[in-house]
Amino acid sequence: MNWKIWSLKKSPWVFHVNTGACNNCDIEIVNLLTPKFDVERFGIKLVGSPRHADALLVTGVVTRQAAPRLKEVYRQTPKPCVVFAMGACACDTGIFNAGYHVVGPVDKIIKEVDPNAIIAYVPGCPPKPEAMISGVVKALSAL
Amino acid sequence: MKKTVKKPVIAVGPFHPLQEEMEFFQLTVDGEKVTDIDVRISYNHRGIERISESLQFDQIPFLVSRICGICSASHPLAYVQAVEDIAGAKPPERALYERTIINELERIHSHLLWGGLGGHIIGYDTVFMWAWKYREPVLDLLEEITGNRNNYGNVKVGGCREDIPNEIIPRILKELDKIEKKTEMLTNAVLDDPVLHARLKGVGVLTREDAIKYAVTGPTARGSGVAIDVRRDDPYAAYGDLDWSVITQTEGDVFAKAVVRLLETFESIKMVRQALKKLPDGPVTMEVKEIPPGEGIGHAEAPRGETFHYVRSDGGNRPTRHKVRAPSYVNVPSFKASCIGGDLADVTLTLAAVDPCYSCTERLAAVDRESKVIHDYEALLQMSRDKTARIKKELGVPGIKMEDLQIG
């Protein structure tokens, strides 16, 4: 195993990117840090800068204004970086598919920057916190 | 070109660690004091009003509940009230009570959520952890009633989709007692804490005059001593039958807004309890066969203020126009009054104090793709005035001035 991947799997630090979500996935992500789920005991921590992040938690449909910012945030992360598309919107734009201001989904935009990006999908509207934990565990153990 | 002295500008956003959503504030500072603030939004504009016009009346509640994940009961409620207004439909009593219960549970979880985020922003993570821990049972109750922790999707035109089974009512009441006790503990701890007093009092003051001038709504207005509340002023659902009071504080600072929210949580618990006890028997849904041509309005008191929906129908099965005005739309401009003159360190807290929700607000994105110019509010206003002047000239309508109108 590549040592970079090996080190990525321990205590992943995550940066949360909202690209036009309804706040629902976002509050469920913050919920993960609070006493009921408390993912910090596994070393998973929300950080304030993409430069410190091992993984991006991306929510939302990626609006026209958000797309260049999302690309920039992805460029700033140290590689390898796992991108988690959280929720139905991030996975395939969901109910907002017909919107004129929607350029997503997330994987399309990320692949424009890095065609070999590692992308994991957690569907649901919003995914339950348990589903998010399960998604992160599955993605990291598949690396 | 005129030379101007550049002032130091500090950017907050679009991705800021303390903000859940994308928004961009440009703060002009003089030392530690904020001298001007500029808000740039529409990062979160998804074109919901346009999508709504392509969906059928029955599908739209699912879309509008996704305008904002935290107000996901108020938006559909305001929307179905607008459609029921067009159709002249009167939903059954039990449905009205159920809508009240779900809306008030939503308010409890939203206010606790805000309390926690407020604590997090000032670096007091104990409050954050407590408030969010006590919020969990409310989400469990909502999941038990509607099937989802957020995005309940429970209202529809003419009633509710799911009934509250009578068997679970005693359990909900028992759970509410527990939630009330814990919230009481949290509230007492917050009101008792000298650190919070020192940090929150006198910060981000929005005076009563400014509150009226900026036409703010919800807890932001009530924290500044303006007692407005749609639930009392124009009762919808079952609010007219319940006994509760509107909480106001006069100071207008962040502390007052926090107190309003925390005390409102108790009023909401009281309301849910009353509604559960009074819950009438009968069906929760009625058939609305067709939506006649016409227009209707519906409004509801979301946790952040008044949510307003306007729907126009031409007799078909899709609306021809659907307009949403969310509470943060009027609350956000009040930053001009509350942030300027304050300390830089207080800005994020002041911004958070109105509990802004940008996914609710962003109904408009003005982007000129050719020149890559993003129009600001002033420019849009000027454009709109120019257009009005042009139309007037084309039609030959004389202009009317305020002074010409006879008032009274």
Mark the ranges of chain A whose per-residue pLDDT is less than 70.
1
Predicted model pTM: 0.87
Give me the helix-helix angle, A66-76 and A106-113, nearest 10°: 50
| Chain-chain contact of B15 with A125 (C-beta, under 8 angstroms) | no
Residue in chain B lying closest to A33 (CA): B129
φ/ψ region of B299 (left if φ > 0, alpha if ψ in -120 to 50, else beta) reads beta
- Name the minimum distance, in Å, from the CA of B397 to any CA of chain A: 35
User: Is it true that domain A3-142 has CATH number 3.40.50.12280?
Assistant: yes
| Chain-chain contact of A31 with B20 (C-beta, under 8 angstroms) | no
Domain segments of chain A: what residues? 3-142
Spell out the per-residue pLDDT of chain B, length 408, in tens. 566 667 788 888 788 777 778 888 888 888 888 888 888 877 888 889 999 999 999 999 999 999 888 888 999 999 999 999 999 999 999 999 999 999 999 999 999 999 998 888 888 888 899 899 999 999 999 999 988 888 888 899 999 998 999 999 999 999 999 999 999 988 888 888 888 888 888 888 999 999 999 999 999 999 999 999 999 999 998 999 999 999 999 988 999 999 999 999 999 999 999 999 999 999 999 998 889 999 999 999 999 999 999 999 998 889 999 999 988 888 888 888 888 888 888 888 888 877 777 777 666 655 555 555 666 667 777 777 787 778 777 777 665 555 555 444
Instruction: For residue B363, count CB atoms less than 10 angstroms from its CB and return exposed for 0-12, middle for 13-18, buried for 19 or more.
Output: middle
Mean predicted lDDT score pLDDT of chain A? 89
Nearest to B109 by CA among B141, B78, B77: B141
CATH homologous superfamily for the domain B48-361: Cytochrome-c3 Hydrogenase, chain B (1.10.645.10)
| Chain-chain contact of B359 with A23 (C-beta, under 8 angstroms) | yes
- Name the minimum distance, in Å, from the CA of A1 to any CA of chain B: 33
Q: Which residues of A touch B150 (CB under 8 A)?
A: 24, 27-28, 126
Secondary structure percentages of chain A, helix, strand, coil, to 5:
45, 15, 40
Give CA A82 to chain center in angstroms.
8
- Asked if B288 contacts B91 with a C-beta cutoff of 8 angstroms, the reply is no
Q: Which residues of B touch A17 (CB under 8 A)?
A: 15
Nearest to B266 by CA among B389, B358, B184, B159: B184
Bond preceding residue B292 cis, omega within 30 of 0: no
Q: Which two tokens stand for residue B177?
A: 């007692």
The SS3 call for residue B249 is coil
| Chain-chain contact of B359 with A66 (C-beta, under 8 angstroms) | no
Q: Which two tokens stand for residue A63?
A: 């609006």
| Chain-chain contact of B133 with A36 (C-beta, under 8 angstroms) | yes
What pLDDT, on a 0 to 100 scale, did the predictor assign at position B126? 86
The vertex-A89 CA angle with A85 and A95, nearest 5°, equals 165
| Chain-chain contact of B43 with A24 (C-beta, under 8 angstroms) | no
Q: Which residues of A touch B43 (CB under 8 A)?
A: 20, 63, 65-66, 69
**What residues are paired with B9 via a beta bridge?**
B28
**What residues are paired with B36 via a beta bridge?**
B28
Enter the ipTM. 0.91
- CB within 8 Å of chain A, chain B residues 149-188: 149-151
Percent of chain A at pLDDT > 90 equals 48
Which of B44, B50, B51 faces A63 most closely, judged by CB atoms? Answer: B44
Number of Cβ within 10 Å of residue B347's Cβ equals 23
The rounded distance, in Å, linking the Cα atoms of A90 and A61 is 5
Q: Could you tell me which residues of chain A have a Cβ less than 8 Å from any Cβ in chain B?
A: 16-28, 30-31, 34-36, 47-50, 60-61, 63-66, 69, 73, 95-96, 98-102, 125-126, 128
Domain segments of chain B: what residues? 48-361
What pLDDT, on a 0 to 100 scale, did the predictor assign at position B408? 42
What pLDDT, on a 0 to 100 scale, did the predictor assign at position B407? 47
The rounded distance, in Å, linking the Cα atoms of B347 and B345 is 6
Interface test with A, best of B15, B63, B138, B318 (most A CBs within 10 A): B15
Residue in chain B lying closest to A103 (CA): B46
The rounded distance, in Å, linking the Cα atoms of B50 and B65 is 15
The rounded distance, in Å, linking the Cα atoms of B28 and B33 is 9
Nearest to B200 by CA among B157, B153, B267, B257: B257
| Chain-chain contact of A101 with B133 (C-beta, under 8 angstroms) | no
